[in-house]
């Protein structure tokens, strides 16, 4: 359902003084962020979704909407303490004192639909044409990326929806977003079980692309059908190409790139070697293989596109703000699907509201890059205002509230030129170990970075005669048949995904996790424990009972 609601411009909303509602509606506020998620929007959403209370309760539905946002604003405390924070600054106003069960019933009465609608109203690009760092020529840069590390409680209903995750104990939620890289604003979001895969989720966001957008994405989004569907929207594409893809050389270009075709889409391929020199003298080399539908090498040189592709990492910063700044690394609260959906839409709405205030603050001072605004400062100020029930007190110029002023007074310093590996200290993370590829194990300062565009050789390797897609491979050579044969050779052996991936050598560990989990759900193989698979199901023989004297 799409809610259509005419909001004033964000700047107008921010400069408007917000007063706390009267009577039983008084706890329904979010400090200065109430101007971004105003009473009128919340009431319109509740009316559209038919979730307005039928009688005036001590806990009206509007109060419940702001309670859900505050619940995400204070993830470290329970329902009662969240309510206490909402009402602590309402001196002289009689407010209800609900029990934990009453607040839980309030969540159930609202459901997920009213919380999704405010996000759909607020979501979208926030930058103006003159905002620094948001455009590449005539195009607004956006990116696709998924996050599969949002942990949820290990309850039976959550497992029934999301399943188990092989590399850690909690079920996890897959979140796919389309982000404006310059401001890290959310343009759209979907989420669900991790087994569905990133490309399937990204397809549900393709309708948000526009002809003035340049989409950045990582390896794994270069499937022929997905590339064709993204190009059909009119948006341009810049993304990494998997190393096992073979592309025909149709024409060489002056900057070292060449024209090719993937499926039915004409593309330009850029092979690059990147050499990094660190302050301690360490030198290592990496390789990028990019494809783009920007085929004019004179207007969009290869070196400029290679430099631009690094902006894709702004998407990771957006996920860092969600998982670690707002949630502080904690798992979500809800124990069933309806609660998780409601909580996720509330979290995404809160994130977008904070980004809206930050971007408007940056744009009030010409030349300020929104990338230098500190999300932690904005979040902490919003929390303080909720506790104090503070409305907006405009400054002398009448342009900014307290969040904007604090953000501008504590802008982040320019970024240091440094490099670090994708390695997580958690022993259950799939990034906890990596191959020795010459990169340093710890973050180091870079002193030099050289990018060399590699021209294709005089003789390109021939295209493979057999497709890597299993649909066009002989049944005996398909990956599924080869893995089933391996497991059936020793039916009682417990195999780990890392062992199977290392045995064949042509599949990544992440893909192996997904495929084994999918085959176990369909009954082809059996999952006997976290990350343990076998051809047959079996149980160990129990020990005899202990003898008592």
CA distance 13 to 356: 11
pLDDT at res. 540: 55
Q: What is the pTM of this model?
A: 0.81
Share of the chain above pLDDT 90, in %: 53
3-state SS assignment for residue 386? helix
Task: Please check the confidence at residue 170 and state whether its pLDDT lies above 60.
Answer: yes
Task: Please check the confidence at residue 346 and state whether its pLDDT lies above 60.
Answer: yes
CA distance 158 to 151: 11
Instruction: Enumerate the β-bridge partners of residue 179.
Output: 143, 186
| Helix (DSSP H) and strand (DSSP E) numbers for the chain | 17, 14
* 475-534 carries CATH number 1.10.10: yes
3-state SS assignment for residue 92? coil
- H or E segment at 236? strand 236-240
Provide the pLDDT confidence category of residue 203 given band limits of 50, 70 and 90. Answer: very high
**Residues 44-71: tens digit of each pLDDT:** 999 999 999 888 888 999 999 999 999 9
Picking from 157, 183, 162, the residue whose alpha carbon sits closest to that of residue 174 is 162
CA distance 335 to 154: 8
Top-ranked range on mean pLDDT: pick from 132-141, 410-419, 536-545: 132-141
Task: Show the CA angle centred on residue 393, arms to residues 380 and 9, nearest 5°.
Answer: 85
What's the chain's average pLDDT? 85
pLDDT at res. 7: 39
98, 135 contact by CB (below 8 A): no
Please give the residue that has the higher pLDDT: either 242 or 433: 242
pLDDT at res. 195: 82
Class of domain 121-354+367-373+401-409: alpha beta
Domain ranges of the chain: 121-354+367-373+401-409, 475-534
CA distance 213 to 235: 5
Q: Kindly report which listed range (129-138, 416-425, 523-532) carries the lowest average pLDDT score.
A: 416-425
327, 279 contact by CB (below 8 A): no
Please give the residue that has the higher pLDDT: either 491 or 208: 208
**Residues 527-542: tens digit of each pLDDT:** 887 788 888 776 555 6
87, 95 contact by CB (below 8 A): yes
Task: Show the CA angle centred on residue 446, arms to residues 440 and 449, nearest 5°.
Answer: 105
Question: Directed axis angle between helix 100-110 and helix 337-363, to 10°?
Answer: 80
> Using CA atoms in the order 21, 26, 32, 37, what is the torsion angle rounded to 10 degrees?
-80
pLDDT at res. 395: 45
């Amino acid at each position: 359902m799409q809610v259509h609601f005419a909001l004033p411009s964000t700047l107008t909303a921010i400069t408007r003084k917000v007063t706390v509602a009267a009577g039983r509606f008084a706890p329904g506020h979010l400090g200065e962020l109430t101007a971004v998620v105003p009473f009128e929007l919340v009431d319109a959403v509740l009316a559209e979704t038919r979730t307005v209370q039928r009688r005036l309760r001590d806990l009206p539905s509007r109060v419940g909407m702001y309670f859900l946002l505050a619940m995400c604003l204070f993830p470290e405390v329970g329902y009662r303490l969240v309510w206490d924070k909402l009402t602590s600054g309402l001196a002289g106003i009689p407010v209800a004192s609900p029990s934990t069960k009453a607040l839980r019933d309030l969540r159930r009465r609202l459901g997920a639909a009213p919380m999704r609608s405010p996000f759909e109203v607020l979501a979208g690009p926030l930058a103006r044409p003159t905002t620094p760092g948001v455009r590449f020529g005539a195009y607004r840069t956006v990116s696709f990326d998924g996050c599969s590390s949002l942990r949820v409680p290990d309850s039976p209903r959550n497992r029934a929806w999301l399943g188990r995750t092989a590399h850690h104990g909690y079920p996890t939620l897959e979140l796919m977003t389309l982000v404006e890289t310059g401001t890290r604003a959310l343009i759209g979001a979907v989420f669900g079980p991790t087994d569905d895969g990133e490309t399937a989720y990204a397809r549900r966001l393709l309708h948000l692309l526009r002809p003035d957008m340049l989409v950045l994405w990582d390896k794994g989004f270069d499937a022929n059908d997905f590339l064709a569907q993204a190009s059909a929207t009119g948006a341009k594409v810049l993304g990494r190409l998997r190393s096992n893809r073979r592309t025909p050389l149709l024409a060489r270009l002056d900057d070292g790139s060449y024209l090719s075709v993937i499926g039915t889409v004409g593309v330009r391929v850029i092979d690059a070697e990147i050499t990094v020199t660190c302050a301690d003298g360490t030198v290592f080399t990496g390789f990028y293989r990019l494809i783009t539908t920007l085929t004019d090498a004179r207007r969009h040189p290869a070196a400029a596109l290679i430099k631009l592709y690094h902006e894709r990492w702004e998407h990771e910063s957006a996920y860092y703000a969600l998982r670690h700044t707002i949630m502080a690394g904690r798992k979500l609260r809800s124990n069933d699907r309806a609660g998780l959906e409601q909580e996720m839409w509330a979290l995404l709405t809160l994130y977008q509201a904070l980004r809206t205030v930050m971007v408007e603050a940056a744009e009030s001072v010409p030349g300020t890059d929104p990338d230098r605004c500190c999300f932690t400062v904005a979040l902490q100020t919003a929390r303080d205002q909720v506790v104090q029930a503070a409305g907006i007190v405009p400054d002398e110029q009448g342009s900014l509230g307290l969040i904007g002023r604090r953000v501008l007074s504590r802008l982040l310093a320019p970024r240091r030129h440094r490099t670090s590996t994708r390695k997580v200290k958690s022993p259950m993370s799939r990034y906890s170990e990596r191959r020795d590829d010459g990169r340093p194990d710890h973050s180091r300062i870079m002193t030099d970075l050289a990018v060399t565009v590699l021209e294709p050789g005089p003789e390109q390797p021939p295209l493979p005669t057999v497709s890597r897609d299993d649909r066009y491979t002989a049944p005996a050579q398909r990956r599924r048949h080869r893995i089933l044969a391996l497991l059936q050779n020793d039916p009682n052996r417990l195999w780990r995904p890392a062992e199977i991936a290392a045995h064949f050598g042509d599949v990544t560990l992440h893909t192996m996790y997904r495929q084994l989990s999918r085959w176990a759900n369909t009954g082809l193989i059996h999952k006997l424990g976290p990350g343990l698979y076998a051809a047959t199901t079996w149980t160990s023989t129990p020990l005899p009972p202990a003898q008592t004297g």
